Structure 1
Amino acid sequence: MAESFLFDIASSLLGKLASYAYEEVSRAYGVYEDLQGFKDTLSIVSGVLFDAEEKKNQHHALHEWLRQIQNICFEAEDVMDEFELLDKQKKVQKASGSTRVKVRHFFSSSNSVIFRPRMAEQIKGIRARLDKVAADGVRFGLTSVDPGHFVQQREMTYPDIDASSVIGREDDKDEIIHLLMQTHLHSNYDGDRSMTVIPIVGIGGSGKTTLAKSVFNDKRVDQLFELKMWVCVSNDFDMKKIIIQMINSAAVSFLTSSSTPSSCLAHQENINNLDIVQLVSRLRLKVLGQKFLVVLDDVWNDDRAKWLELKDLIKVGAPGSKIIVTTRSNSIAKMMGDVPLCVLEGLCPEDCLSLFVKWAFKEGEEKQYPNLVEIGNEIVKKCQGIPLAVRTLASSLFSNFDISKWEYVRDSEMWNLEQKQDDILPALKLSYDQMPSCLRHCFTYFSLYPKDYNFNSYEMCSHWVALGLVHCHNESETLESIARKCIDELQSRSFIMDVIDLGFICHFKVHDLIYDLALYIAREDFAVVESHTRNISQHVKHLSFVENESDDHALFPNSRSVRSILFPTMGLGLESESVLDTWVTRYKYLRYLNLSDSSFETMSNSISKLEHLRFLDLSRNDKIRTLPNSICKLLHLQVLILSGCTMLENLPKGLGKLISLRHLTITTKQSVLPLGEFENLIHLQILSFHFCDNLKFLFRTKLPSIRELYFESCGCLESLPLNIFPKLQTLYINNCDKLNLLLNNECPEQTLRMKHLYLIGFSTLVTLPGWIACAMDTLETLVISNLSGLKMLPVFLTTMTRLKRLYITNCSQLLGFTSDMRHLTALEDFRIKGCPVLCSRCQPLYGEYWPMISHIKSTFIGKVTIEEEELLGGYPF
């Protein structure tokens, strides 16, 4: 059985049952007494859930007991959901002013003659089952446990996790850089001296990738090579994927002042459609005559023929080119390497303790707690010198001075789990156990994505919100902002890595061993479906398809509790409409349905049967021409994504009935949008237009709920009146050639609440719009890219006292600053790329502007990392 999160589910149900709204509707439908009885029993059961979790490994029968309660809670949640749906149907009925006949036709399930007895029967059945299961639990002798005793919530923390700070690997780094500096090194297999392979080998979590990145980003290495490429190889050694990564990486490396991040992304999208012959030709052209460095990270392939094939492809580079390979396998390292292996042993005890102290305490704080340092030393000894285990456990104890928590980690029986060779799951599981229950629940959803997946905060937060994993206790906060705090907390505990924060969205990865931990915890409730999958548990609640879906309908479980279906792999989607029909019939309680990159031409009206759906993603379905109007019956729907549906003629009629909608992303051929529909979307916070080629103008009426607004490649859009979005916090505009940023914005709101502004691809703009100054008290992120006519930054820029991030890329005529950058006291991240004169003036130590910016915590002058360059201009949704 997967990790149980019954306490969270039960608490959520109890909160709903205690609300006035549920009391009112339950009395109206004659089910108040039964719901109160269910609530009372659930309250008693909730008190012993933590004790049951603690004892389930000693009493096997407790597994089944917890499973039964979980199933009952999910059924109760579905029933409660129907009450909410009924309330929303009545609101739509009242707003529409339609006749009783029309409403009954549109919402037949709201007929109280049908609804009352059906719901009463369901509630009575659920109450009876819970009473019986609760009575059965008496034989286990469970006692009520205070949740605070089991898991203690801690304050949000943000320790410095700079990946360049490599403790205990300095000698390894210097050794590798020394090898890179040598022009000719002897080759093991054929005497070829034009290119040398340097292997880094070590067990999982030993720091191979961190060491490789440290070398890759070292300034000494920049001076050695004309071209650098980073390729994440992982489990398979797919030649086409590797070549595409190398071409994309080379394209980024070769970006000039006339190139933009968005044009680089477009290039990446185009080459995916090339055949292998074209790709090989493109790659060889990129590396021809260039002295290059390639990092092949996380290689598992032991097929020497494939390796030699790849090596032969890139031999056209200049002499002195190098390849760094990281792998867990000695045999693979020897097969690929041309020099003695760089074997990463476990860190020495002193370095391990230094690493532990760095992550468990603020700087110098450990001197105040010598007793905790001593316990930490004992914990470190059990980590077997593995940096990831040390760092993760230390992060879980950061700024926690309760000695009992430290002793719990040191003495836990998790260390005695039977392990596979080189397995450090016990250490990671201990850190996982220290997290609050809701955070542990969110973490398990990483298991639905492929290893080495590039996550972004938006997709994870949307999934958590759709499934009700996060709860809002403060009206000033949104569910999305609370979910984003979960991302920050996971980062602070070292459960995610390589975080690139762009303000409104952040991108990150999950280490292989952390991913293995998510799989270990998720087990049968989560299923990743691959081509070789032959059996799926009947208890499964979340399905993820990472390869072409099976046409075997019998493979899919009949369980009514399936909550999520997704296709996380770019370019892979649903091909069979009959499979979709099967899912709609079987899984009517779905909350999350991601059908991105699918290829069906029509969608059945039956989609309206998924009344509980919160999230529907149809992005990049480039065959679908129309959507059924019945999609507007999904009154619980919070997110609808239609970006990349380039053949879509019109939006479905009745869009305004989606009264729960908070996020809408559109690709449509319409030139005029139905204002009346949008006026009814009173909860809509995120509105996004993607490749709306015919759209010229937006509305004139205010849309006061909109907080985030995105425009991507809307070539005919002429004006954007900002005064109709009084609560706008994020504005992203990319590749909208005809848009006049000054038109209709002569007199904007007295002040703007904008926090994040992205202006990309305005070649005729010679100065930044003056209305930006109206956001001087709130702006935190400003990104300007490919403004080839921009010559000077405005004076008002230095009044942005809350500005944290300033990125300037590919503004070739930009010459300098207008005043002292030191006025930007909050600025933490400053990057300049593709601005020749300005980059020269900002060079560390020697540039005339360096004294103005030297105080900034993070600066990149002249170039940024590959990941940052790709993501900076990338469309987030």
Structure 2
Amino acid sequence: MAEAIVSAILEQMTAITIDKAIEAWSLVQGAEKEVKRLETNFKALRLELEDAEEKEYVDKRVKHWLDKFRDVSYDMEDVLDEWETAVQHLQTDPSGSASVRKWKVCPFVSCFSSGSQVVRRYNIATKIKKVNEEVDEIVKDKVRFELIKRKIKQPKRPETTSFVDVSELIGRDAMKEEIISILLCDYKCRNVPTITLVGMGGIGKTALAQLIYNDHRIQTHFSKTIWVCASDPFDQTQIARAILGDLDPDSLISLKTPTLQSVLSKISERLTREKFLFVFDDVWTDRDQDWETLKVAFKYGMPGSCILVTTRKESVARRLESPHVVPLQLLSEEMCWLILSQKAFSGRSQASREILEDIGREIANKCKGLPLAAKTIGGLLQDKKGREEWQDVLNNVIWKSSFAHEIFSPLLLSYHDLPSPIRQCLSYCAIFPNSFTIYKDELIQCWMAQGYLNSDGNRRRELKGEDYFKYLATRSFFQDFEKDTSGSIISCKMHDMVHEFVQFLTEHRFVTEVVARNSTLDLSSKRVRHLRLEIPSWDASPLSTCLIEKLRSLVVVSDGLSSGDGLQDLFSRSKLLRFLEFDWLRLRPEQIAGGMKNLIHLRYLSLISCSGLENLPESVCELINLQSLNLRDCLDLKKLAVGMGKLINLRYLCIKECPRLSYYPKGIRHLTSLTRLSGIRMRVDQSDGNEFSIGDLENLDLLGGSLCVELIGDALNWAEANRAKLHNKIHLKRTDIWICSPNIKKEEVLKALNPPSTLLVELFDYQKWLPFNEARIQRMKIREKLIVARIVSRAALKFIADCSSGSGKSTSD
């Protein structure tokens, strides 16, 4: 993860070292050597960071060193952001229009009055020198303590075997029978059929394979059964030798220098007389070249031969062309309890069991269906004798506990198998609460806001985000997928144990706090960069905070009743924010406007389900570096800002479920970087100078995914519809068009738009739009009634509390 941060920094530093423009160079004048030295140090450190990251969870000194390095890396990113902001200002003409020059890292809002003031107020050279001094100290610490060179015992992928006490394996009987029935069918096909068991680490793939392998029906049906642990590193020759050694030990001994060729020849010769079952356990490699030669040799087996594979990666099943892919499901709470109690009560009396069973069942529920977690915690409970010790285990958050590393060791293996850029994307999911519905597009925008998806090409960032998401999804880090009609993923969740794991990875950097009434939140003891605040009641503000100046993400969540009055200081002091979200707050436009001017680094602004916000403040349009704007479910929103066209770097605009929104400014047509546009109403009868019309889609050619629009107007203007040029929207997959007027016919709309045959277009006429709109209005009314009910309920509870307090006082007097 730190390695990915360094790569991004080096990419930005290159811009400094090669840019000789007078404006740019004036900001680093006198620090040329410092820039070069810093670049050299970062390049040298990058080579050793991956090794350090693997050691940080088993050596506290390495973790402390890496934390210091991450801090200084963040500081350097901030300095580079300021440099590019200042350069962009210097290359802006007096009228405020941006220079033709485009920067790889987007420019920020202009907040200076002259070039000389930029140099005075933003002495970039001085800041680079300061960062360089800190990096020098970090390099010295590495050398002084030999932090990276020291050999540390790493968690290795354990070698598995077929030997197991099957009586101790619980909870997979039905699936075992299902797979055995498949294996006992004698397939007649060109290739040896493969059954692949897929699931996250700790879900019980190996245990199920052991159950199947040791079943007497399997042992009698196949003339030869062989178990192979195929963990990384995948070595074809070593695997082939293991198979031959089990098939025919004498043949292996007879080979004086056993090469892969000679061993495979012996295997294919021997398999002609065998109906075999090979179990390849814990397979990680999904490269075709690792499997091709082995698969060819296995073809010589007798009809009915099979291969059973266990893996964490769906891509392995695809490479092996498995006709049967079996995703393992989580165990029930009862099964987790049976596994845990089997270990925890070993050697204990029935009386002891009765005393501890109620707490034990609650602890088992924390395992969230993972048998390995239940088994591990059960083993830890063996040495804990009384209720108090068991209660401590129950009360402990797993990721903060002393046994966290042991619980998470299977997930650490999966984590370290990820490329460094994808590790940081996974770690960012710690910003979400447990069991949270994560919308894929919004998650990708979050990654982009943090600079995790830097790439050449205007659309490559979103595509890279899609690739990263799929990579994590196919490795079981996400689950509970919601898909659209075309099969594309809309949203997902993380398993509770995976979520606790990412919290374990990001301790102190990602923090979630529930804020009590009139409380002070002190973050001085932590290295917080990403903060989620949950405000449970409307009177929880004002909020006083300490050490929030270096926050990069701030999410404030309430219950729909809390006011934003107490949050002005919070985000006005957090000037380094890349991501700001207010969720379910009551906001007034002036509350937003007041703090926006300081957020020159902001890439993502999210105001989800915020009430009271009738119009988007014009000050938001000064955030020209803004890439994502999410206004989903803002029921009171009526008007977007007139100056929306200034947001030239905006890539994502979500205005879904804003039923009162009626004004969409013409300036949206200038947002040519938009790749996602969700929920927009446009005119089809004309093109006036104020409101967005369908022809204004003309230059928005980067739009991708699904586009949902509502058409308004008294009649269809064919020329205006044709000006949309849908044939140029090559990245769009689907367009849903709702016709909001009885005077517009969908057949005419389709002809006028003339979409390409590759674009799926769904048209809904006025008769279908009416009930759709009515349902939307009803949802809005229900939600408003719920908010009113909450207000009344809160007031009643407060009145009762006040009365009780008052009566108690009079009694005591």
TM-score, normalised to structure 1, is 0.53
Aligned match of 2:11 in 12, 15, 34? 15
Q: 1:353–1:27: structure 2 CA closer, same or farther, 3 Å change rule? A: farther
Which secondary structure state, in structure 2, belongs to the residue aligned with residue 24 of structure 1?
coil
Which secondary structure state, in structure 1, belongs to the residue aligned with residue 751 of structure 2?
coil
Aligned to 1:544: 532
Write the deviation string for residues 289-328 of structure 1: whole angstroms up to 9, x where unpaired.
xxxxxxxxxxxxxxxxxxxxxxxxxxxxxxxxxxxxxxxx
Aligned match of 2:474 in 468, 474, 492? 492
Aligned to 1:707: 703
Aligned match of 1:439 in 417, 422, 444? 422
Matches within 5 A, 1:759-778: 759=763, 763=767
Which secondary structure state, in structure 1, belongs to the residue aligned with residue 36 of structure 2?
helix
Matches within 5 A, 1:309-458: 347=208, 349-351=210-212, 393=312, 420-421=377-378, 424-458=407-441
- The CA deviation at 1:581 is 0.9
Aligned to 2:628: 639
Which secondary structure state, in structure 1, belongs to the residue aligned with residue 608 of structure 2?
coil
Contact kept in structure 1, 2:564 and 2:585, CA below 8 Å: no
Aligned to 1:517: 501
Aligned to 1:683: 673
- The CA deviation at 1:15 is 1.3
Aligned to 1:561: 550
Write the deviation string for residues 207-250 of structure 1: whole angstroms up to 9, x where unpaired.
8xx9xxxxxxxxxxxxxxxxxxxxxxxxxxxxxxxxxxxxxxxx
Greater percentage in helix: 2
Q: 1:574–1:584: structure 2 CA closer, same or farther, 3 Å change rule? A: farther
| Structure 2 letter corresponding to 1:462 | Q
Contact kept in structure 1, 2:86 and 2:118, CA below 8 Å: no
- The CA deviation at 1:124 is 2.0
Aligned to 1:141: 146
Write the deviation string for residues 503-538 of structure 1: whole angstroms up to 9, x where unpaired.
564322322222232222222211122367976553
Contact kept in structure 1, 2:229 and 2:280, CA below 8 Å: no
Write the deviation string for residues 66-108 of structure 1: whole angstroms up to 9, x where unpaired.
2222111111101111233234446664785599xxxxxx934
Which secondary structure state, in structure 1, belongs to the residue aligned with residue 677 of structure 2?
strand
Write the deviation string for residues 184-222 of structure 1: whole angstroms up to 9, x where unpaired.
xxxxxxxxxxxxxxxxxxx99768xx9xxxxxxxxxxxx
Aligned to 1:733: 736
Q: 1:710–1:57: structure 2 CA closer, same or farther, 3 Å change rule? A: closer
Which secondary structure state, in structure 1, belongs to the residue aligned with residue 411 of structure 2?
helix
Aligned-partner Cα distance in 2 for 1:566–1:94: 36
Task: Name whichever of 574-583 and 517-526 sits farther off.
Answer: 574-583
Structure 1: runs of 5 or more not aligned: 100-105, 152-165, 175-202, 211-344, 381-389, 402-414, 766-784, 787-877
Q: 1:554–1:48: structure 2 CA closer, same or farther, 3 Å change rule? A: farther
- The CA deviation at 1:715 is 6.6
Write the deviation string for residues 151-172 of structure 1: whole angstroms up to 9, x where unpaired.
9xxxxxxxxxxxxxx9742489
Matches within 5 A, 1:11-50: 11-19=7-15, 23-24=19-20, 26-29=24-27, 30=29, 31-50=31-50
- The CA deviation at 1:397 is 7.1
1:578 paired with 2:439, answer no
| Structure 2 letter corresponding to 1:580 | L
1:588 paired with 2:545, answer no
- The CA deviation at 1:489 is 0.9
C-alpha RMSD of the superposition: 4.9
- The CA deviation at 1:653 is 3.5
Q: 1:58–1:518: structure 2 CA closer, same or farther, 3 Å change rule? A: closer
Which secondary structure state, in structure 2, belongs to the residue aligned with residue 689 of structure 1?
strand
| Structure 2 letter corresponding to 1:616 | L
Aligned-partner Cα distance in 2 for 1:58–1:140: 16
Aligned-partner Cα distance in 1 for 2:207–2:522: 39
Aligned-partner Cα distance in 1 for 2:509–2:133: 25
Aligned-partner Cα distance in 2 for 1:8–1:673: 39
Q: 1:35–1:446: structure 2 CA closer, same or farther, 3 Å change rule? A: same
Which secondary structure state, in structure 1, belongs to the residue aligned with residue 614 of structure 2?
coil
Matches within 5 A, 1:196-345: none
Aligned to 1:698: 694
Task: Name whichever of 434-443 and 124-133 sits farther off.
Answer: 124-133
Residue correspondences, number: 546
Q: 1:513–1:61: structure 2 CA closer, same or farther, 3 Å change rule? A: closer
Aligned-partner Cα distance in 2 for 1:442–1:552: 32
- The CA deviation at 1:593 is 1.2
Which secondary structure state, in structure 2, belongs to the residue aligned with residue 421 of structure 1?
helix
Q: 1:135–1:529: structure 2 CA closer, same or farther, 3 Å change rule? A: same
Write the deviation string for residues 753-776 of structure 1: whole angstroms up to 9, x where unpaired.
63x5455576479xxxxxxxxxxx
Structure 2: runs of 5 or more not aligned: 100-108, 157-170, 180-199, 216-225, 247-277, 284-308, 321-371, 380-405, 685-690, 773-813
Write the deviation string for residues 752-807 of structure 1: whole angstroms up to 9, x where unpaired.
663x5455576479xxxxxxxxxxxxxxxxxxx99xxxxxxxxxxxxxxxxxxxxx
- The CA deviation at 1:658 is 1.4
Aligned-partner Cα distance in 2 for 1:621–1:426: 41
Contact kept in structure 1, 2:514 and 2:533, CA below 8 Å: yes
Write the deviation string for residues 121-177 of structure 1: whole angstroms up to 9, x where unpaired.
2222212222233223221235689xxx999xxxxxxxxxxxxxx974248999xxx
Aligned-partner Cα distance in 1 for 2:26–2:314: 51
Contact kept in structure 2, 1:425 and 1:517, CA below 8 Å: yes
Contact kept in structure 1, 2:6 and 2:73, CA below 8 Å: yes
Aligned to 2:791: none
Q: 1:123–1:398: structure 2 CA closer, same or farther, 3 Å change rule? A: farther
Write the deviation string for residues 328-378 of structure 1: whole angstroms up to 9, x where unpaired.
xxxxxxxxxxxxxxxxx9647133899x999999xxx99995668999777
Contact kept in structure 2, 1:670 and 1:692, CA below 8 Å: no
Aligned-partner Cα distance in 1 for 2:155–2:81: 30
- The CA deviation at 1:615 is 0.6
Q: 1:752–1:171: structure 2 CA closer, same or farther, 3 Å change rule? A: closer
1:113 paired with 2:113, answer no
Q: 1:563–1:722: structure 2 CA closer, same or farther, 3 Å change rule? A: farther
Aligned to 1:245: none
Contact kept in structure 2, 1:85 and 1:636, CA below 8 Å: no
| Structure 2 letter corresponding to 1:9 | I
| Structure 2 letter corresponding to 1:47 | L
- The CA deviation at 1:59 is 5.2
Aligned-partner Cα distance in 1 for 2:172–2:142: 51
| Higher RCO (CA-CA < 8 Å; seq separation 6+) | 1
Contact kept in structure 2, 1:650 and 1:670, CA below 8 Å: yes
Contact kept in structure 2, 1:461 and 1:483, CA below 8 Å: yes
Contact kept in structure 1, 2:34 and 2:132, CA below 8 Å: yes
Contact kept in structure 1, 2:642 and 2:665, CA below 8 Å: no
1:630 paired with 2:619, answer yes
- The CA deviation at 1:442 is 1.2
Aligned match of 1:479 in 461, 465, 469? 461
- The CA deviation at 1:578 is 3.3
Q: Which has the larger radius of gyration?
A: 2
Aligned-partner Cα distance in 2 for 1:541–1:761: 49
Task: Name whichever of 665-674 and 6-15 sits farther off.
Answer: 665-674
Aligned-partner Cα distance in 1 for 2:463–2:554: 24
| Structure 1 letter corresponding to 2:599 | L
Aligned to 1:772: none
